[in-house]
Amino acid sequence: MKWERIPLGPLQTNAYLLFNEGNDCIIFDPGSEGEKLIQHIEQKKLKPLAVVLTHAHFDHIGAVEDVRTRFQIPVYIHKNEQDWLEDPALNGSQYFMAGKIKANKADHIIEKETLLTIGAFQFQIYETPGHSPGSVSYYCERVGAVFSGDALFKGSIGRTDLPGGNHQQLLQSIHQKLLTLPEETVVLSGHGPETTIMEEMETNPFLNGFSIDL
């Protein structure tokens, strides 16, 4: 099982493809440039099974309908942001001169932390709010990686100045959920390069020297 990072759109939001030897594939956060993403998937002869969203900010959902329609696959999102797909005010697109970005309702609503199985893929879902109220992270033990969305970055953390953001809550999410993963776990963030749990524990200035109420 392998993963691939594909930065898309003006904000270079990372979409990820997770695929196995049979070329079955999960698409994480198809944020923009739908045709480019579709062409890449088809050139690699991958067979998408689902679109899985870490959260519903506009830069993570812009190509949802393109890939859902092309491959006829379901979309997964957390219940706290299930209305954001259809609402440019909630997903933020109307405030960032990105045009009014919309997608149809998700096919599957994530209600709680659970083990999600899609075909041969399994993910432990962790609720990691703070950047947004419905942010979730998907830990795939088999590949030793967590798809963290905009919760944790290499050397940084997600912004919390957008509607529904909460800095203290984000720090709690990171400490209680992400930093408890094995230290060698690769962190696949919504923007920028990958990192590891160990590297962020040791060097991330936002996670060191702060006292938080856990």
DSSP string, 171-207: HHHIIIIITTS-TTPEEEESBS--EEHHHHHHH-TTT
pLDDT at residue 98 in the model: 63
pLDDT at residue 212 in the model: 47
pTM of the model: 0.95
pLDDT at residue 211 in the model: 45
Percent with pLDDT over 70 in the chain: 96
- Spatial distance between the Cα atoms of 206 and 214, rounded to a whole number of angstroms: 15
pLDDT at residue 209 in the model: 55
- Spatial distance between the Cα atoms of 152 and 149, rounded to a whole number of angstroms: 7
pLDDT means per 10 residues, the chain with 214 residues, are 96 97 98 97 98 97 97 98 96 84 97 97 98 98 98 97 93 97 98 97 84 46
Count CB-CB contacts under 10 A for residue 7: 15
Identify the three-state secondary structure at position 139.
strand
79 DSSP assignment = G
End-to-end alpha carbon distance in the chain: 35
Locate 114 and state its tokens: 């659970």
Nearest 5°: phi and psi at 147?
Answer: -90, 105
pLDDT at residue 96 in the model: 81
Name residues whose C-beta falls within 8 Å of residue 37's C-beta, 6 or more positions apart in sequence.
Answer: 6, 8, 15, 27, 30, 63, 66, 67
Name residues whose C-beta falls within 8 Å of residue 209's C-beta, 6 or more positions apart in sequence.
Answer: none
